[in-house]
Every structure is written in structure tokens, then in C-alpha cells.
Structure 1
Amino acid sequence: MAMAGLYRRLLPSPPAIDFASSEGKKLFLESIQNGTMEGFYRLISYFQTQSEPAYCGLASLSMVLNALAIDPGRKWKGPWRWFDESMLDCCEPLEKVKARGISFGKLVCLAHCAGAKVEAFRTNESNIDKFRKYVMKCSASDNCHVISSYNRASLKQTGTGHFSPIGGYHAGEDMALILDVARFKYPPHWVPLTLLWEAMDHVDETTRQHRGFMLISRPHRDPGLLYTLSCKHESWINIAKFLMDEVPILLKSEDVKDIHKVLSVVITSLPSNFGEFIKWIAEVRRREDGGQTLSPEEKARLNIKEEVLNQVQETGLFKHVAAFLSNSSCRQLPKSGHEDTLPGIAASVCCQGAEFLGGKSSRPEGYCCRETCVKCLKINGDKPVTLVCGTVVNGDNEQGVDVLVPSSPGRPHCCCSGSSDYIGLHPDGNDVLTALLLSLPSETWAGIKDEKLLQEIHDLVSVENLPTLLQEEVLHLRRQLHILKRCQENKVDEDLGALLS
């Protein structure tokens, strides 16, 4: 019985030249000699085929983010943090992307939320000379990559709107190498840069905006080293709306006279699932990796995480939040849950979560529980970190893992005594809540009528008063919140300048 289907397409040549053809190989070798294929090596190392016909934008972006070695700050599968199309669900639900694709503006939004540095240009706001300059710059470096949004029809290819990264440039022939993520359809191919510009200079019928290109590079340091906003769950829409729209109105309507009342107004009104919105990023290493010595990279990440955590706990706002949450009348407040922070990685990290998320242990003997076991681990002979051993349950397979978190001052490094009678405690989330409040826009507090209190709040939440590491962490969270809000309002394609500001 015959089965209907499509097996690839014949690449229209001209205008394109197949990368694997003799002419394509010649262009490739000449470009290597001219130094305009440096970006190719990392891209080809992470080259992927889009898993859905409409996932060209998501595949292009995940490929570039992995090539830039940007940490997603969230799990892919098992204990691994890795960009995949399924991870890029912040600015548009995956089901919508699967059905209709994604717009240029929302792909820019996704790149920002993922922690990349992004410059985006529509063709009506740029010109071919600038485009050529950026293609040459990124082709001669592995620190930046260009993703092009173009109409296939201009290249005599089937289909309409498409995204793909540019893998290299041949200066003599003025040709760009398109690493087409729809490899089931067309192979990588060279095209005249002028023709690619014409293909980009089309209006997207959905947004009524011109297509264009984006320059994606790695920030000078990873943002979101300790915290990140998560929009994997639908709750982010309500929480983002509450934080950006409702909190300022609440503070205007309430007659607040002191910091305690301000915190009461905000915290007691938080949606019950706000803990799904902001996550802390722990480190995980598999037991079968062998040994208990951390690599220099692991050690560096943990040291920075520890410093960020210490800086959060040293802020005046943290002290107010901790005092407020320690009040007996606040015990029933919604907690910043950690249950989904490492789901399936360490079964239940209640002891580690209670200490780490709560900042400092309120019990001198520490926390422990049946599901986990906390032990000491030296960082190459230096300071100890907390090691939480757990079990990955994946079908019939169980694999041991270690969850590593920095040791906070005043907190015990070891809390195991072999007893099975310890009670798992859920964290208060003092430091997580502090980071979330610090990330709110400065205008959030403008409705407070008491000028003295307004000044006090300003001093507590001012980004300028924060140490550099924490300042960058908070600004990243604030950018994420801003972008998510614009996505929620469907405004990202209207004004890219506002998105990138």
C-alpha cells in the first residue's frame, strides 16, 4: 500500500549553491582561508534539525544559544541543563508556535529571556551595508551569531517565512552560508547576500511588520546565576500581571505607614503559586562521574552563587522580609516552593531547600529527611559546600545524583546522623522573595503617599545601592519581567526598541 509523503526538496540552484557540492566546498575552503568561517565551527557543533515544521525559529535560537554556551538555568532532561526547542516557551505557548510559527519580535523576546545579548534590526530600520557588516563580524568570530528571518520565495524555495542562522561569509563572491534548520527539506546552502537581503525585506502578513535579522552574543557574564523567572507553567501570566499592574494599585489604595505594612500588602496578596514563577538554580553532578572533587568550572559557579546569595542576605530588604515572614501570624503565607526546582533529580530536597531557600538555618542541628542525605564536600580542599544525595526516578531506572549548593555563613555544613525520623521542612523563601521584590520596576512603589516611607523603600530597593553581582542578577530578572509583560500584552512586535531598552 502506497504511503503519501514528501522526501526533501530539490534545492533551486541558482540562486543557491549546495554546501556539499564541489562549488560549495570551494567557497567554504576559500572562506576559511579568509577568516570568515570562525563562527561556523561552534554552530555546526550544535546544528539541529527543527523537530516540527513550524519550529524553525525555536531550532535556530536553541542552536545559537548552545553554541554560545549560555546556561538555560532550567532542566532539559534528567539533571541536564540544555537548550532545546521545548525549553523556549516563555513568549509564546509551544502549541501556538507548532500551529503558526513564531514572530520576529517574539523570537527576540525569547533570546532575551534566555539570557543572551540581542541586537535586532528590521529591514526598514537598517540597510544592506549594515547587514553585511554584522554578517562579516560574526563570521570572523565565535562570540556572536546572526539569525535571519526571510521569505523563502525570494530564493525560489517552497514555503514562506523562515528562520535560520548564518554560518559563514565569502567576501569575494559576497555570499552568505545559510545553515537551514529544515534539513529534511533543504541542505545548508550559499546564497548571494544581496538576494538574502531582498528575502528579508518582506512584510510578515501576521504582524504587518518587516522581517529582518538579529545579532545574538553572550553577555560578559551569565545572567541568572542564582535566580531565574520561569514561565513553563501558565501561572506566570497571572503572576506577571499581579507584580507589574496590581501591586502599584494596591500600594496606592492602602494607607501604608511602615515597611511591615508595605510587605504585608504585597506578600499577603501574592498568588498562591508564585513559587513557580521564580526559581533558584542549583548544581547537580552524577555520582557515576566519580570522585568528590569539583571541576574548576563547577567550583567557579558555586563560588559566584555563594557570593550572590550572601549579597542578597546582606541587603536591608532581606532583613525586613525575614523579620516579616518569621512573625507567627505570617505562617500561612504562600511559600516559595522548591518542589519543581529539581523534579525527579533528588526526589525531594527538603533539607537542602529549607536551608538554602530560607537563607540560613533556623535550627542549629540543620535539616534532614528520609528522602535525602546531606553530606560535606570540599571544593578542591577549600570551603565546603552542601551535597544532597538523591535518586533520579525515570521509569524503571534509578540513577544517583548529587545536588550542590553554596554554604551560607552560620549554617552547618553537615546534618546527617543516620536517623530516619527527621521531618522535611518546606522553605520560607526569604532570599527568593527578596530577589523578586528587588526585581520590580522602581515605579512600583511610586503610589506610596508617605514621603518618608517612600524614600525608605527607595533606599531598600534601589539597584544603584546593590553590589555589582547582585545588581546584574536583579537587572536580569527585571528585564525578564518586562519582556514577559510585553509578550503578555502582545506588544513585542510593535516596538522592538522598547523591548530592547
Structure 2
Amino acid sequence: MSPSASLPTVAAPAAAPAPAQAAAPEKTFYRRELPAHLASFTSDRGRQLFRQALLAGFAEIFFALSGNFTMQSEPAFCGLGSLVMVLNALSVDPGKKWKGVWRWFADDMLECCAPLDQIKQTGMTFDELACVARCNGLDVVAKRASSVDYDEFVRDLELVTSSSETHMVVSFSRKTLSQTGDGHFSPIGAFVPESQQVLVMDTARFKYPSYFADARLLFEAMKPIDPVTGLSRGYFLLRKGDSTPLSLCQIVVKDVEWRSFRSVFWDTLPRLLADPSVHNSAEDLIRAIVSHLPAGFADYTAFRSAGRDLAGPPGQDAALQSQLDQEIHALTEQVTAHPLFRMVHAALAENTKAGAVPLTTGVRATIFFMSLPDALWVDLPAAARSTLETLRRPQSLGARDSLLRSEVARLSAQWDTLLNSKCSCGRKDKCTGH
């Protein structure tokens, strides 16, 4: 918010010293006026539309959402606030403590795919929201407005509003709705087929109330190009997933130099492995790759903590920490039983002056190998790529390795999101989101 103009001053008597320059007061707002073509949910028109949606059977999703309505805790947390509403409406157990003895989702607990400090400053992209949703136990179908038509959008509106099992979060430009600001995320709460009006449950309650908007206008609001990604916005269909809600692992890449990171995979390794003698065996291949990866690459994968108790007395986190330790132990057993672990661990030892590598380092490095997206390996010679794919594929995991398979899938989605958001390489055939 920009400062207001300076207030007028009264000249001081000539004999008096000049007063110090007072700082102009900061301009603040108490909400914004809703444009006339949007009907506030609590207005007479809004209530009438809601009754129509309810009688038509297209307000079923509203009750779960309204019972878990969340106002975003930061001005740029609209995506996280929308996800929190959906997660709690679907009764997803976060598996970690919120405050005191309670497990519950709050928007400042959803750190995955992008740091919270970054989201607080710049918000989220379309792909980042999809990634965070998957990290926290949701099945996600992401549809950009550029790839669907209005009729499909209406069918999806009818699908989500007529049940309580599938939710929709829309990503749109406020400008198209004649609102202030630009990119925004909101859950959908009801739909009126006859008048094509849709209830947008705005988590930025400090700015606008929930409101009914023309569905076609909302669809058009998804089409403008997001200047951050160069792509249109869109919407998400979200359902409760079958897996453990929270990932055991997370990606930590705050200090990664992305240009050199990609250069290793698309320049250095392809040139090195063009010589077949470098990778006569799978062990040789892994040894060659490890020796050229960024130092400390195992630290890009970290085990998550059990969460912080911000309200309760100390010492109450022991049970949750014990449960997390058991899950990480089970994951470690599955990783160390995989053939790739032995090769990665041995290669790390050869590249370490001390010659000894902690077990957990080898585990995290192996998970890193398995979770990197295919786009990073496409320039490798065919023989090397085939060997690596055989070692990395989830199909190589047995029925008892479901935990490892789940972690690899989630981390791979995070890597895709990170690489797409950081892509300034000019290789659009590799950066799948551009």
C-alpha cells in the first residue's frame, strides 16, 4: 500500500524552531466495495441464488466448506487458505500437531514445494498449489483454462457442487471480475444452473465477502496469462487421497544454483556418458553420476519434523515424534533393501575423503536419485538412460515398498514444480510447464 499525500500544515511563528518533518500516515483499508455485477452471499440476491442452488441440488459441497471456513492468515496466502478449507472439509488428518494436543490444518503448516517466506512475498503459482495439495494427501486434477472449454467447466461445476467428495479451487485474475488485485485462488461452494451463477468462497475476507459471479465471466477470468509462468490459470478438482497425508520427506533447495544444476544433467553428464567405457556396469554408471553431482546433493532431500507445538507445554510432542520415527525407520528399511542404495552409498563413500558415509545420507541420496523427474535425464545416451530407468523406476519396487513408492511420487511432483518455476534455461522441451 502506498503512503497517502502529506497532510496540510500550519506555519509556525517565526521565532519558533521549525518542527520535525512528520512521516505521512500509512494508508489502510477496511475491505473493498464489491462490484455491482457480483452478488454478496449475504445480500438478498445472494440468499435467493443460494436457495435456488440448494433446491437444484448444486450446493451440497457448501456445508462441508462453510463448516471449515478459513480466512487466509497472510495477504498472499489465498492458495494455502483455499487448500486448508478443502483439507479440513474432507476430514484429512494432517498427522501432525497444530496446537496443544490437536491435529488440524492451518495455512502456515503447508510448507511444501515452495518456502512459506517466498509464498508470503509473492504468492503461489498454479503448479505450486497442485504440488502442495498432493504433498498433503489430496488427489489432484489440474485443468488450465487454455486446455478446456466452458462446457467442460460447467460440467465440473455441477460435479463438485452436487457432492461432498470432490472440491474445486479456481485460480483466476481478479481484474476480469472488476476487482482490485490480480491473481487469486478461491474454493467453489454452489452453482445455479438456470442463471449460470457460481458461489466463490473468498478466503480474503478482509477484502471481499463470498459472492456469486457469472460462471462464464469466472471462466474468462482464468484465461489471462499469469506473468510469472507465461501460462493461463485454471482450476483444480480435489479429492481425498488414499495415501498417508503428509510426506515423510521434503525437498530443501534454498541455495541451489539452478543454471549449474541443469547444466550437470543436460551438458556434463551427457558428454561424460557418451563414452560407453565409463558405464560398463550399473555400478560404474552411478559412480560416474555421483562424482559430478553438486556437493551435498543428498541434503536436497530431508526428513520432515513432527511439527511444532506453538501453544501446549513442552514435552507433549513425544508420541507424534515416536510415530514419525517409526515411519522413517520403515522407509529407511525399504530404501536400504533396494539395489540402487548399495550403489549410491558406495559411490558416495568413494567421493568422501573420510571414506565413511552415514546410513541416512545414503538413504536420502538414493531417494534423490529415484525422485528426480525424467526431464533431467533425457539427454543421456540411450544405454545409460535405459540402465538408470531400470534402477529408478517405481515398477522395480515390490508390494512391501508402498511407502517408498509414495514418497518417490510425491517428491518427483515437487521436483517438477521447482524445475518449472526456476526454468530460465531456454530449453522449453525440458521445462514441461513452459
Other-structure match for 1:98: 121
Other-structure match for 1:365: none
Q: Structure 2 residue aligned with 1:311, among 316, 334, 338?
A: 334
Assess if the C-alpha contact under 8 Å between 1:164 and 1:178 holds in 2. Answer: yes
TM-score normalised according to structure 2 size: 0.71
Assess if the C-alpha contact under 8 Å between 1:155 and 1:196 holds in 2. Answer: yes
Look up the equivalent residue of 1:216 and give its one-letter code: L
1:151 to partner: Cα distance: 3.6
Assess if the C-alpha contact under 8 Å between 1:239 and 1:277 holds in 2. Answer: no
SS at match of 1:138: helix
Q: Structure 2 residue aligned with 1:147, among 153, 157, 169?
A: 169
How is 1:258-337 mapped onto 2 (pairs within 5 angstroms)?
Answer: 258-281=281-304, 283=306, 307-324=330-347, 330=352, 332=354
The alignment status of 1:460 with 2:381, answered yes or no, reads: no
The alignment status of 1:478 with 2:409, answered yes or no, reads: no
The alignment status of 1:235 with 2:256, answered yes or no, reads: yes
Q: Which moved more, 1:178-187 or 1:152-161?
A: 152-161
TM-score normalised according to structure 1 size: 0.63
CA 160–472 in structure 1, closer or farther in 2 if over 3 Å, else same: closer
The alignment status of 1:444 with 2:371, answered yes or no, reads: no
SS at match of 1:429: helix
Other-structure match for 2:12: none
Assess if the C-alpha contact under 8 Å between 1:65 and 1:83 holds in 2. Answer: no
In 2: Cα distance, 1:436 partner to 1:127 partner: 38
In 2: Cα distance, 1:478 partner to 1:237 partner: 17
Assess if the C-alpha contact under 8 Å between 1:248 and 1:445 holds in 2. Answer: no
SS at match of 1:235: coil
CA 129–434 in structure 1, closer or farther in 2 if over 3 Å, else same: same
In 2: Cα distance, 1:497 partner to 1:117 partner: 23
1:65 to partner: Cα distance: 4.7
1:215 to partner: Cα distance: 2.3
Other-structure match for 2:212: 190
Higher helix share: 2
Look up the equivalent residue of 2:377 and give its one-letter code: T
Count matched residues: 400
Assess if the C-alpha contact under 8 Å between 2:96 and 2:306 holds in 1. Answer: no
CA 137–274 in structure 1, closer or farther in 2 if over 3 Å, else same: same
Structure 2 gap ranges (5+): 1-6, 8-24
Assess if the C-alpha contact under 8 Å between 1:445 and 1:457 holds in 2. Answer: no
In 1: Cα distance, 2:60 partner to 2:180 partner: 30
CA-based RMSD: 4.7
Assess if the C-alpha contact under 8 Å between 1:223 and 1:473 holds in 2. Answer: no
Look up the equivalent residue of 1:444 and give its one-letter code: W
The alignment status of 1:138 with 2:148, answered yes or no, reads: no
CA 276–25 in structure 1, closer or farther in 2 if over 3 Å, else same: farther
Assess if the C-alpha contact under 8 Å between 2:174 and 2:221 holds in 1. Answer: yes
1:489 to partner: Cα distance: 0.7
In 1: Cα distance, 2:60 partner to 2:353 partner: 56
1:18 to partner: Cα distance: 1.7
In 1: Cα distance, 2:146 partner to 2:379 partner: 38
In 2: Cα distance, 1:141 partner to 1:76 partner: 28
Other-structure match for 2:13: none
Assess if the C-alpha contact under 8 Å between 2:170 and 2:185 holds in 1. Answer: yes
In 2: Cα distance, 1:78 partner to 1:292 partner: 9
Other-structure match for 2:19: none
In 1: Cα distance, 2:94 partner to 2:265 partner: 24
Assess if the C-alpha contact under 8 Å between 1:104 and 1:211 holds in 2. Answer: yes
In 1: Cα distance, 2:263 partner to 2:104 partner: 29
SS at match of 2:302: strand
1:63 to partner: Cα distance: 4.1
Q: Structure 2 residue aligned with 1:24, among 46, 69, 84?
A: 46
